[in-house]
Amino acid sequence: MKHRVIEGRLEYTSRKPDMMGKVRGFETFMFTRHSDGKVTLRAHCEIYEPEPTVMRDIIYALDENKQPMDLHVRLTVGDNFMGSGWLRFDGETIECESYGPSIGRLSQRVVAELPVDGFGTHPIISDGYLLSTKEWSEGQKRKFNCYLPSPDHRGATPPMIAQVKIDAQYLGKEEVTVRAGTFAARKFQFSDDGASGMAGEHPPYELWITDDDDAIFLKGGVGGYMMTWYELIELSR
């Protein structure tokens, strides 16, 4: 085949004092890196804790210039169908077609604020990949302009267009060991003072990605009220 496939699995654990190290979910992912430079990401996520549980499936496509093309999402919350939707970016506008029991059939079209840095998809693997779409110097800060199907921190609302502007900083290179192996990595931090457009202030979020073009999420954690940790436990490429 002319394309290349990367597959892996992330484990979600808690860092709350009364749940330290307890598994609270997982994520499986597959990148298809096409010969023309386009990338397709597929991810399945399950969050067990806190209630209500969240199950999400996404397919996200980017073009050869690392611009978002389209995003498909299907969401189950508390083991009940929450909604499914499709977002598309044509270089100027964002459109959304979705359905959910609480919103009915929804069609949206908005003129995008340019440049668009990506679609926020909510799987952890896509957080790392979003960072890799830019060139960085150590210590540099950027504000990412993204469009999401949900501004909720867990993405647990029916698919609708939401704009979020979140800050990120590149903190430098490190060697990182996780259950999937030892890797050359780059460390970043996302931060949100409450003005991003997310549903409430998001606690600081540190993460490490592979120091290569694949930009695979290796490990990371969110403090504050979340107190959660994510780690790559399987990788095939």
* Mean pLDDT of the chain, nearest integer: 93
Q: What is the pLDDT of residue 50?
A: 84
Q: Integer distance in angstroms from the first to the last C-alpha of the chain?
A: 14
Can you list the domains of the chain with their CATH numbers?
A: 4-236 (2.40.360)
* CB-based burial label for 85 (10 Å; 0-12, 13-18, 19+): buried
Ranking 15-24, 75-84, 98-107, 175-184 by mean pLDDT, the lowest is 15-24
Please check whether residue 27 is in contact with residue 47, taking contact to mean a CB–CB distance below 8 angstroms.
no
In angstroms, the CA 145 to CA 67 distance is: 12
Where residue 141 falls among pLDDT bands split at 50, 70, 90?
very high
Q: What is the pLDDT of residue 222?
A: 87
Q: How do strand 93-100 and strand 217-222 relate by DSSP bridges?
A: unpaired
For the chain, give the percent of residues with pLDDT over 70. Answer: 96
pTM: 0.92
> Which residues have CB under 8 Å from 192's CB, separation 6+?
166, 167, 198, 201, 202
pLDDT in tens, 34-58: 999 999 999 999 999 889 999 999 9
User: If residue 181 lies in a helix (H) or strand (E), which one and from where to where?
Assistant: strand 181-191
Other beta carbons less than 10 A from residue 11's beta carbon: 18
At residue 197, does pLDDT exceed 60?
Answer: no
